[in-house]
């Protein structure tokens, strides 16, 4: 085969085998399938949290099911090969410790994936700590021989607890004597205690420690904070570059690109982000660009005074009424011009009294909206509707309507009513749920399931793909998190941190 595909043979036949393969049906089908599979592989690594934590719980549940079967088969083989006593109690203890070790290793890997930007970095972090787990497991060096100032790591290593549990559950209750070279005769129980530090009476606590490690890794995995662009210009540039590299050039040049809002927030380069977005129509004249308004964009425009006035002629001060009880706690803005400012502008520009955001585990940065830069133009439209957009599903490719809105649509209100309200940009409303709602806009409206409709949003600080409900927001405005985009119809997830060639 090597001779046939050699350059000299290709020259004789006037063929480029690489080109022939790249243009083949086999490669094209595999390429599209691989892109779809890879996006879901990335999703399993990075999308570890949803508004209800359902997706994360689902990932854990399916892992535990097949790990339980795997651990049982492994236990049968290993237990019989070692030659332990065939007693039900001892076999179940052995199975428990093997099962829990399989689970905590899996949960640890998923937790590390949740806390790191990508699988490459996660692999480095995971292997680093696992090396220390094994080193301080008590197997290379028994605990009693480890220097006392390092023994804390022995107790912090899950592997040491597993080794402790397996040995003690099988041998810790044996009182028959054995001859120890250089130490004479001792019972097995005393040998384990004197030389390895293993005590049978400690078995229940060892079992509880395993459950503790599993629960620790599980909760960190599921309850993990994960965005929008939020003023991170370098991330936006990298994401744009990766989109250009990953999408076929003809398709990229004629793409419909929808930005889902929140161009300003914690990032340091809001002005550069806006300049970049404004330049896109002139740089890519054959593309269609849609810029939606996010909740932070709304607050910016309210503060700088370019928010359109209410259609009924009322003053913006009217929007304060239902929330005035929060003014002192949230530290609403009371500087120049506040008398004619929309509620959200006052909240954004204020200085919240309670500096720590318990929900996100971090400090507020200046205001209830954690914002910093300022914004000078109201260019965003709150929602976009496309009548024919394709998406690949497990049932094949579907033709759907597409609705893009920053946070989502309220489940308990009619679609047409909400669409009319958003298109009118009605600023007499104190809080626009489609831009700032959370749980109430997470799910897809039931009436939108009759005629298949894709609803795509950001805002929630999570990446969640649930049928036709797409939430693409891994960044959450946090510097360490990636900014992501979804490419339809493939469902391919592309991030600013992706390495492309």
Determine the Cα–Cα distance for residues 319 and 459; give it in Å rounded to an integer.
23
Plot region of 477 (φ>0 → left; ψ -120 to 50 → alpha; else → beta): left
Which residue in the block uniquely carries the two structure tokens 């806009």? 441
Q: Which residues contact 132 (CB under 8 A, 6 or more apart)?
A: 153, 157
DSSP 286-344: TSEEEEB--HHHHHHHHHHT-SPPPTT---GGGGGGGGGGGHHHHT---STTGGG--HH
Alpha helices in 362-460 (DSSP H): 415-424, 433-436
10 Å CB burial of residue 210 (0-12, 13-18, 19+) is: buried
Query: Which tokens sit at 313?
Result: 């002629």
Q: 58: which residues sit within 8 A by CB, 6+ positions away?
A: none
Chain centroid to CA 423: how far? 31
Number of C-beta neighbours around residue 439 at 10 A = 11
Q: Ramachandran region of residue 302, left (φ > 0), alpha (ψ -120 to 50) or beta?
A: alpha
DSSP 480-500: TSPPEEEETTTTEEEETT---
- Residue 406 is among the residues annotated as catalytic for this protein: no
User: What is the C-alpha to C-alpha distance for residues 298 and 311, in angstroms, rounded to an integer?
Assistant: 17
b or e along 150-171 (b: 16 or more beta carbons within 10 Å of the residue's beta carbon)?
ebeebeebbbbbbbbbbbbbbb
Q: How far is CA 396 from CA 24, 106, 247, 388, 390, in A?
A: 21, 32, 21, 16, 10
Count CA within 13 A, CB hemisphere, residue 340: 9
Identify the active-site residue in 195, 200, 230, 296: 296
Residue 194: cis peptide before it, omega within 30 degrees of 0: no
Catalytic positions are 296
């Amino acid at each position: 085969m090597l001779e046939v595909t050699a350059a000299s043979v290709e020259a004789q036949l006037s063929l480029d085998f690489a080109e022939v393969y790249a243009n083949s049906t086999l490669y094209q089908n595999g390429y599209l399938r691989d892109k779809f599979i890879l996006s879901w592989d990335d999703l399993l690594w990075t999308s570890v949290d949803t508004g209800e934590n359902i997706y994360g719980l689902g990932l854990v549940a399916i892992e535990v099911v097949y790990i339980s079967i795997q651990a049982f088969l492994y236990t049968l083989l290993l237990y019989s090969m070692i030659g332990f006593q065939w007693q039900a109690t001892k076999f179940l203890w052995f199975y428990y410790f093997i099962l829990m070790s399989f689970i905590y290793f899996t949960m640890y890997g998923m937790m590390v994936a949740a806390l790191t930007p990508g699988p490459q970095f996660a692999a480095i972090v995971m292997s680093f700590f696992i090396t220390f787990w094994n080193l301080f497991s008590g197997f290379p060096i028994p605990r009693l021989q480890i220097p006392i100032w390092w023994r804390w790591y022995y107790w912090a290593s899950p592997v040491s607890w597993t080794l402790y549990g397996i040995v003690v559950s099988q041998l810790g209750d044996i009182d028959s004597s054995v001859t120890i070279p250089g130490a004479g005769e001792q019972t097995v129980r005393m040998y384990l205690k004197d030389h390895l530090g293993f005590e049978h009476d400690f078995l229940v606590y060892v079992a509880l420690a395993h459950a503790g490690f599993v629960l620790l890794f599980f909760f960190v995995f599921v309850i993990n904070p994960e965005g929008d662009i939020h003023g991170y210009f370098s991330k936006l540039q990298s994401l744009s570059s990766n989109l250009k590299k990953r999408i076929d050039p003809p398709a990229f040049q004629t793409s419909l690109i929808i930005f889902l809002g929140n161009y300003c927030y914690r990032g340091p380069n809001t002005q550069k982000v806006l300049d970049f977005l404004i330049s896109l129509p002139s740089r890519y004249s054959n593309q269609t660009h849609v810029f939606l308004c996010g909740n932070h964009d709304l607050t910016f425009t309210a503060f700088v005074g370019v928010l359109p006035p209410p259609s009924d002629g009322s003053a913006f001060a009217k929007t304060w009424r239902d929330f005035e009880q929060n003014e002192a706690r949230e530290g609403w803005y009371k500087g120049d011009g506040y008398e004619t400012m929309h509620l959200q502008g006052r909240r954004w520009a204020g200085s919240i009294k309670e500096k720590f955001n318990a929900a996100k585990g971090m400090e507020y940065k200046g205001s209830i909206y954690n914002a910093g830069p300022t914004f000078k133009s109201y260019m965003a439209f709150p929602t976009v509707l496309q009548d024919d957009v394709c998406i690949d599903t497990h049932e094949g490719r579907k033709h759907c309507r597409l609705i893009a809105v920053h946070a989502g649509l309220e489940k308990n209100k009619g679609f047409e009513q909400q669409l009319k309200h958003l298109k009118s940009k009605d600023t007499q409303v104190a809080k626009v749920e489609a831009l700032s709602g959370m749980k109430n806009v997470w799910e897809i409206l039931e009436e939108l399931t009759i005629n298949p409709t894709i609803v795509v949003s950001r805002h929630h600080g999570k990446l969640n793909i649930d049928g036709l409900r797409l939430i693409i927001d891994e960044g959450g405005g946090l510097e360490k998190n990636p900014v992501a985009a979804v490419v339809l119809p493939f469902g391919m997830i592309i991030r600013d941190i992706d390495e492309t060639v």
